[in-house]
Amino acid sequence: MSAQKTAVVIGATGNLGQAVCAALEKEGFRVDPTWSSSARPDATKRESYKNLPAKIDAAIYLAGINAVSEAENITDEIWDKVFDVNLKGALYFAQAAFPALKAAKPSCFISISSIMVTHPYPNRIPYAASKAGLESLTRCLAVEWGKHGISSHTLRLGHISGLMKSTVTNPKLLDAVKKRIPAGELIQTDQVASYIAWLAKGGAKSVNGTVIDFDPAYTINRWPLDE
């Protein structure tokens, strides 16, 4: 009987994080409970990752934060806060998890990007720029860590039904988005979780460094007429 696989999910308390943890546990993973409590460490601090499991089959970074500000009004505080959560924390986690990922090979590092990278909305420069950096980090890790049996993936998410806790979205925006989605539905959180669990189990062994457009054709739908 093979040993139980271990996953560490940063951002486990969010809507998506809870769904991912449930999907992983359903597949037989042990999910590190450190990040599931109200007393979880600060994902933006290097020291928060000192006590990771000795072997990690799936290191998953879901932590994210948005900030809405006109370009000319972005402050150092706004910029640093968004980049600390969305990008610097991901790097710290990856660095700390590397020995455990190498020990568990084959293993994977998974993160969450956004359609804002390629299809930006106004007033969201820090978010879009930090996610672009995360996509580059994913590709770089794939090139460096592939020889150790570690694959790296990021999901470029469209609009999901369960929003980030830090996000307050105008209902009119989501209604408009639905009209541009051919199927007329937002992405279901459990579908994202199931895909992440599939990647965590091994996914496609020949695929590494991927940025996966997890988007039901919203960003490519350019048909201008309302029908």
Q: What is the pLDDT of residues 85-124, one digit of tens each?
A: 999 999 999 999 999 999 998 999 999 999 999 999 999 9
Which residue carries 């090979």 as its tokens?
A: 105
In the chain the domains, ranked by start, together with CATH numbers, are 6-214 (3.40.50.720)
Looking at residue 1, what is its pLDDT? 52
Task: Provide the 10 A C-beta neighbour count for residue 226.
Answer: 6
Instruction: Look at residue 155 and give its three-state secondary structure.
Output: strand
128, 64 Cβ separation under 8 angstroms: no
Rounded average pLDDT over 179-191: 93
Instruction: Look at residue 130 and give its three-state secondary structure.
Output: helix
| Dihedral (CA of 22, 23, 29, 35) sign | negative
Query: What is the value of pTM for the model shown?
Result: 0.94
Task: Provide the 10 A C-beta neighbour count for residue 198.
Answer: 13
Cα gap 15→204, rounded to integer Å: 26
Label residue 168 by pLDDT band (50, 70, 90): low
